[in-house]
Amino acid sequence: MNKCDQCIVRQLSSLKALNKEEIIKLANSKTTYKVKKGEALFEEGEVTNGVFCVKDGVGKLSKLSANGKDQIVKLVKSGELLGQRSMISNEPANLTAKAIADMEVCFIPKTEIINFFNSNNQFSLNMMQSVCEDLKESENEKIALVQKTVKQRLAETLLHLHSEFGEDADKTLKVQLTREELAGIIGTATESCIRLLSDFNKLGLIELVGKKIMLKDVRSLKKLADN
């Protein structure tokens, strides 16, 4: 009996294709550690040489621009893998990965993953599909970024955060992003983001509970987002 067997990442990610033997190998080669909110798992340009399993917490993949703004490309939650692309491409990381909420992660060295690729076809296929999924999402977001207004993108992002991460007991969004981070996802200035949140609040679409956000009128938000 070992821990990886019951791990959420094993259940949700490409790793689900691994058999018992392989899971044992995995358990022996992995290293587990914690990453505090705000800390980086890896930075752009770094050679990671492996894959990270997110057991708990939330992370963001982002890139710093010349003007100092941090564009967030993707949020990662527990059960997902991180750093697959760089590993497969044999390249240093293209993005920086930071914890948005305290994280617990396992690191699997590249050599081990390559072994799995060679011994387990379904695992390869899963990994491929996962990258394909990321690609599709990235392309669709790229389109949304150009074809929708900031207002629409904000509505869309709020809905996405809601369905992806759920809500707390007080009905507010579980992922707690700063306004700056939220602006970094939708690709706008922090002030514009704040202003629109304020507008949404006045319109009764959302409610601002301190720094937290509660979705109040999902239907109208949806209508706003995709029209």
Partner DNA sequence: TTATTAAGATGATAATTGTCATGTTTCATT
Partner DNA sequence: AATGAAACATGACAATTATCATCTTAATAA
By beta-carbon proximity to DNA, the closer residue of 108 and 155 is 155
Q: Cβ atoms within 10 A of the Cβ of 181, count?
A: 19
Least distance from a second copy to the Cβ atom of residue 107, Å: 19
* Residue listed under structure tokens 């072994």: 115
By beta-carbon proximity to DNA, the closer residue of 85 and 179 is 179
The token pair that represents 212 in the structure block: 């937290």
User: Contact between 118 and a second copy (CB under 8 A)?
Assistant: yes
SS (H, E, C) 118-180: HHCHHHHHHHHHHHHHHHHHHHHHHHHHHHCCHHHHHHHHHHHHHHHHCECCCCEECCCCCHH
The token pair that represents 12 in the structure block: 């949700």
Least distance from DNA to the Cβ atom of residue 220, Å: 17
By beta-carbon proximity to a second copy, the closer residue of 13 and 172 is 13
Q: Are 50 and 82 in contact (CB under 8 A)?
A: no
Residue in 32, 129, 149, 178 binding a second copy, rule: CB under 8 A: 129
Least distance from a second copy to the Cβ atom of residue 142, Å: 5
User: Contact between 65 and a second copy (CB under 8 A)?
Assistant: yes
- Greatest alpha-carbon span in the chain: 57
Q: How far is CA 130 from CA 105, 126, 161, in A?
A: 19, 6, 20
By beta-carbon proximity to a second copy, the closer residue of 48 and 188 is 188
Residues in contact with DNA by the rule CB under 7 A: 67, 149-151, 178-180, 187-189, 191-192, 194-195, 197-198, 208, 210-211
- 205 contact, one of DNA, a second copy, none, CB 5-8 Å limit per kind: none
Alpha-carbon span 175 to 213, nearest angstrom: 10
Scanning residues 1 to 60, which ones bind a second copy (CB under 8 A)?
none
Site size with a second copy, rule: CB under 8 A? 42
SS3 37: coil
By beta-carbon proximity to DNA, the closer residue of 132 and 209 is 209
Binding stretches for a second copy (CB under 8 A): 63, 65-67, 69, 71, 73, 84-85, 88-91, 94-95, 117-118, 121, 124-125, 127-129, 131-136, 138-143, 145-147, 187-188, 226-227
